[in-house]
């Protein structure tokens, strides 16, 4: 049996039974079709069977991935991107194993040891500087303040923020649910300032569109009756954050995810435990949340103050 058909079956399994997002499925499709393409070149055959996937093919495939370059930009694949290819392949092999189809043992697919990401975050006074740089005499200014307040106060992903509708968020209780990665719901709690900023923005609007955050276009779209034609995009929010970071004189690269990092870091610095922060961020594994500990461990500061502060 050609693995092309099995890859399609696996992608349907990932989407329907695993409940993964369309973006995840698209990425898995890209990674596995690239595996098929490179394996065909390595083996010199157009049709690849599950039994053709051997430790030797895996070794040569990893070498090809490491040497792979984009024809347009002439860039190689980053180690983390190579790891994503292997994660998709390992998932596919597990799927074959569960179906009783003989192929390479999934446990033989070792992932490369990726370098730890450096966490960029803002201190509270830097977030305050960003907020102070906003002209809130305009509707767009009120919107931008509400966006920054919500990202920092609730630890939202930008995808979660732009998906919010007016009726998604309870400003009186200052809590609501969002559906994050893996279609998992988690509670979001926001500050009084974030609730007030959002309330002020909504009061300034004169439309009845459902999206919580809108762009500045007032062109009517007769085709889209949902109102989503004016919903803010990820890129728009990125530009908004960059604009006010520059206005506040912040030299580090600031993105919407930087505010999510800042949310987590601020919690840990003020004594929150790692498990609670994991739940508030919606991380499936505690290891993901542990990227923050090296910048928030108060014991390290105590050691420095005790043994090195006078030198």
- Which residues neighbour 158 within 8 Å (Cβ) at sequence distance 6 or greater? 151, 234, 237, 238, 256, 257
DSSP state of 135: -
* Pairwise CA distance, residues 272 & 293, whole Å: 11
* Pairwise CA distance, residues 281 & 275, whole Å: 10
By annotation, the residues acting in catalysis are 157, 181, 257, 260, 283, 292
| Direct distance between the N- and C-terminal alpha carbons of the chain, in angstroms, rounded to an integer | 70
User: What pLDDT score does 69 carry?
Assistant: 78
| Structural domains of the chain sorted by starting position, each given as residue range(s) with its CATH number in brackets | 3-108 (1.10.150), 124-302 (1.10.443.10)
How big is the CA angle at 23 (ends 76 and 156), to the nearest 5 degrees? 105
pLDDT per residue as tens digits for the range 10-56: 999 988 887 777 888 899 999 999 999 999 999 998 888 999 999 99
User: What pLDDT score does 72 carry?
Assistant: 55
What confidence category does residue 307 fall into, taking pLDDT thresholds of 50, 70 and 90? low
User: What pLDDT score does 77 carry?
Assistant: 84
Q: Which two tokens stand for residue 139?
A: 């509707």
Average of per-residue pLDDT across 77-103:
91
Average of per-residue pLDDT across 61-76:
78
pLDDT per residue as tens digits for the range 101-112: 999 999 999 887
Cβ 263 vs Cβ 152: under 8 Å: yes
What confidence category does residue 151 fall into, taking pLDDT thresholds of 50, 70 and 90? very high
Q: How far is CA 266 from CA 36, 123, 139, 262, 284, in A?
A: 45, 7, 29, 6, 20
Q: 3-state SS of 44-96?
A: CCCCCCHHHCCHHHHHHHHHHHHHCECCCCCCECCHHHHHHHHHHHHHHHHHH
């Amino acid at each position: 049996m050609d693995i092309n058909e099995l890859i399609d079956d696996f992608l349907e399994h990932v989407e329907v039974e695993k409940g993964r997002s369309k973006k995840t499925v698209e990425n898995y499709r890209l990674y596995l079709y690239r595996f098929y393409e490179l394996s065909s070149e390595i083996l010199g055959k157009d049709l690849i069977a599950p039994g053709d996937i051997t430790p030797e093919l895996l070794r040569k495939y990893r070498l090809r991935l490491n040497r792979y370059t984009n024809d347009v930009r002439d860039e190689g694949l980053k180690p983390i991107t190579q790891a994503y290819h292997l994660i998709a392949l390992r998932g596919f092999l597990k799927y074959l194993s569960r179906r009783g189809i003989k192929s390479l043992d999934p446990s033989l697919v070792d992932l490369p040891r990726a370098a730890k990401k450096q966490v960029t975050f803002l201190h509270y006074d830097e977030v305050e500087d960003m907020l102070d740089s906003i002209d809130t005499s305009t509707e767009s200014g009120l919107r931008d303040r509400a966006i920054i307040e919500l990202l920092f106060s609730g630890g939202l992903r930008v995808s979660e923020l732009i998906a919010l509708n007016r009726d998604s968020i309870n400003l009186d209780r200052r809590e609501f649910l969002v559906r994050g990665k893996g279609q998992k719901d988690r509670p979001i709690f926001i500050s009084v300032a974030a609730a007030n900023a959002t309330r002020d923005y909504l009061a300034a609007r004169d439309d009845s569109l459902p999206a919580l955050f809108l762009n500045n276009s007032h062109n009517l779209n007769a085709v889209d009756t949902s109102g989503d034609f004016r919903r803010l995009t990820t890129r728009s929010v990125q530009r908004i954050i960059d604009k006010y970071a520059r206005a506040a004189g912040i030299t580090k690269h600031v993105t919407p995810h930087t505010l999510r990092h800042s949310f987590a870091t601020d919690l840990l610095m003020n004594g929150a435990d790692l498990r609670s922060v994991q739940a508030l961020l919606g991380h499936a594994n505690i290891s993901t949340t542990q990227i923050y500990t090296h910048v928030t461990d108060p014991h390290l500061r105590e050691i420095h103050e005790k043994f090195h502060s006078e030198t």
